[in-house]
């Protein structure tokens, strides 16, 4: 019998399922702290937690531990690296709380639209202020959903009964897949400009931190409402503080930098603020508990590993090639356009990498979507692309080409209804250094994708490179390295510049216009 330790207040369905299986004994105790329970149960095989901290000390106190399951999505309270060192698999249960968060979004919208919170306080005080609390209806309004993952999709579904016009922004989702859920895909700027309500459902990371800024907020309609039940860091609070009175915006908030007692920095700008209640429903707790137990059973009986978040690199694969797959896809995505809707991906893994082709699909998908976790498995990656309406093909390779251990990624997207665009990039690893060897018809490039890159293709003529350099200098951007070869026809050139800092969009566009660029982009690695 395997012992499962549950040191948290969790729906009893987890304990019941595990004990009914017949292969597990369960110790559930939400009164004793996890460190004490760990020392009292050194023979535990598995651990199911919610927000408890699973530190190196806790892990060391349970030498028999093989599996940790976070009953929920976030796992920042678990030392996943130390767990991997100890050969312990850590899993989470993403999506278990999706409906709870989606319903909270609707609840916040309705509570604010009908002034339910102040009206309740007023009526309890003996007042009768019907005129003061004149509200508005959600029906017929335009709602913008930023991020159409599990939660964003459920928000759209729940809103369908209100006959809202729903617009969405998601850099991966295809227009066809969005249309099936009743959402019209638009640019992020258009979403903020068109919407009566904007609901945020994106992760917080280096690319999204502070994404919702003055520029976007300044586009919102007068009296529009912003709802944040995602992550605190994606919103620039000071920018909202500046724009809110100008536009008469409403702000409904459920997320904070830390889930702790004390004053909140958004208190002066939030019209409704609640203590991170998104996943706090009986049903979400039940779903997460049930999923946690089922994943332990499936892990043991069927070898299902889809939700392991500290997955190790397969034996025999150099981790640099996982980074290469991610980097090549990132560059290819930048070249085809980060807002362009993909319809298919074709990947070629040459040499010894062919045996790891399934596993290498994961970093490819991660480069396309901040929502997809790099520790997920290949089945989850392909399923995710399917949900996004994107076809994925791992091509059979021709080893007679002599490419060695290299990777080629082709992305296909419809620029409009009549034009399909394909961008193809190949790369390899030389002496431990990632190298881009080919972009389209430009071969033998061998440049290191590192730092800040600006890239232009154009019809070859004298003086173009000096025009680019002059414009960069005028913008205060130093050029550290340049590649400037012709394609096979000798009629077109590519300028690949490593620069000192990211190139602003306006600078990039001005250069592209001046040199009559056929394509251009900037990307940072």
pLDDT in tens, 309-354: 887 777 788 889 999 999 999 999 999 988 888 889 999 999 999 9
pLDDT in tens, 193-245: 999 999 999 888 777 889 999 999 999 999 999 999 999 999 999 999 999 99
Quick: pLDDT tens for 10-39: 999 999 999 999 999 999 999 999 999 999
Question: Which band of pLDDT confidence, cut at 50, 70 and 90, is reported for residue 189?
Answer: very high
Question: Is residue 401's pLDDT more than 80?
Answer: yes
Residues carrying CATH 3.40.50.720, the chain: 2-96+283-301, 98-273
Q: Is 486 left (phi over 0), alpha (psi -120 to 50) or beta?
A: beta
pTM, 2 dp? 0.78
Residue whose token pair is 């702790």: 260
> In angstroms, rounded to a whole number, what is the distance separating the alpha carbons of residues 192 and 212?
10
Interatomic CA distance for residues 276 and 133, integer angstroms = 26
| pLDDT band at residue 416 under the 50/70/90 scheme | low
Average pLDDT over the chain reads 92
CATH for the stretch 2-96+283-301: 3.40.50.720
Tell me how far apart the terminal alpha carbons of the chain are, to the nearest angstrom.
48
Local confidence band at 374 (pLDDT 50, 70, 90 cut-offs): low
Contact indicator for 211, 202 with CB cutoff of 8 Å: yes
**At residue 481, does pLDDT exceed 70?**
yes
CA pair distance 48, 54, nearest whole angstrom: 10
- Name which of 512, 483, 487 is nearest 499 in CA terms: 483
Does the structure show a pLDDT above 80 at 133? yes
CATH no. of 319-524: 3.30.1330.90
Across 179-200, average pLDDT = 96
The answer on pLDDT for 284 being more than 80 is yes
pLDDT of residue 231: 92
CATH of 98-273, one of 3.40.50.720, 1.10.10.10, 3.30.565.10, 3.40.50.800: 3.40.50.720
Average pLDDT over residues 281-293: 95
- List every span in the chain annotated with CATH 3.30.1330.90: 319-524
């Amino acid at each position: 019998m395997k012992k499962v330790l549950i040191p948290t207040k969790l729906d009893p369905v987890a304990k019941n399922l595990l004990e009914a299986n017949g292969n597990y004994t369960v110790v559930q105790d939400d009164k004793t702290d996890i460190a004490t329970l760990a020392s009292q149960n050194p023979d535990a095989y598995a651990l199911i937690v919610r927000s408890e901290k699973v530190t190196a000390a806790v892990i060391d106190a349970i030498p028999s531990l093989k599996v940790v399951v976070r009953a929920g999505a976030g796992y920042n309270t678990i030392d996943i690296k130390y767990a991997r060192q100890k050969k312990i698999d850590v899993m989470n249960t993403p999506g278990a709380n999706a409906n709870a968060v989606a319903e909270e979004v609707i609840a916040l919208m309705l509570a604010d639209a009908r002034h339910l919170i102040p009206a309740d306080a007023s009526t309890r005080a003996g007042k009768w202020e019907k005129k003061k609390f004149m509200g508005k209806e959600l029906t017929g309004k335009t709602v913008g959903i930023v991020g159409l993952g599990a939660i964003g999709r459920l928000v759209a579904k729940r809103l369908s009964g209100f006959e809202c016009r729903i617009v969405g922004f998601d850099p991966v989702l295809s227009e066809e897949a969005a249309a099936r859920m009743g959402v019209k895909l638009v640019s992020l700027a258009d979403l903020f400009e068109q919407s009566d309500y904007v609901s945020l459902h994106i992760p917080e990371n280096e690319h999204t931190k502070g994404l919702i800024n003055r520029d976007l907020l300044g586009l919102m309609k007068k009296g529009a409402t912003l709802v944040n039940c995602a992550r605190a860091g994606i919103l620039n609070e000071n920018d909202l503080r500046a724009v809110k009175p100008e536009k008469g915006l409403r702000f409904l908030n459920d997320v904070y930098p830390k889930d702790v007692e004390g004053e909140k920095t958004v208190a002066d700008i939030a019209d409704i603020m609640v203590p991170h209640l998104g996943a706090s429903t009986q049903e979400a707790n039940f779903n997460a508990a049930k999923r946690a137990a089922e994943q332990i059973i499936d892990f043991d009986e069927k070898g299902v590993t889809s939700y392991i978040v500290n997955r190790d690199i397969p034996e025999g694969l150099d981790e640099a090639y996982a980074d290469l797959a991610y980097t090549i896809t990132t560059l290819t995505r930048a070249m085809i356009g980060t807002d362009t809707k993909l319809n298919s991906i074709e990947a070629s893994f040459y040499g010894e990498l062919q045996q790891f082709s399934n596993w290498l699909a994961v970093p490819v998908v991660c480069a396309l979507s901040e929502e997809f976790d790099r520790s997920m498995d290949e089945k989850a990656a392909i399923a995710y692309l399917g949900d996004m309406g994107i076809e994925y093909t791992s091509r059979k390779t021709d080893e007679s080409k002599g490419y060695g251990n290299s990777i080629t990624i082709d992305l296909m997207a419809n620029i409009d209804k009549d034009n399909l665009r394909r961008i193809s990039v190949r790369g390899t690893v030389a002496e431990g250094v990632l190298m881009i060897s080919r972009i389209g018809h430009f071969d033998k490039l061998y440049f290191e994708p590192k730092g800040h890159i600006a890239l232009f293709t154009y019809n070859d003529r004298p003086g173009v490179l000096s025009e680019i350099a002059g414009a960069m200098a005028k913008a205060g951007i130093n050029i550290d390295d340049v590649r400037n070869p012709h394609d096979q026809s000798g009629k077109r050139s590519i300028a690949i510049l490593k620069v000192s800092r990211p190139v602003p969009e306006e600078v990039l566009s001005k250069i592209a216009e001046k040199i009559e660029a056929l394509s251009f982009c900037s990307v940072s690695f």
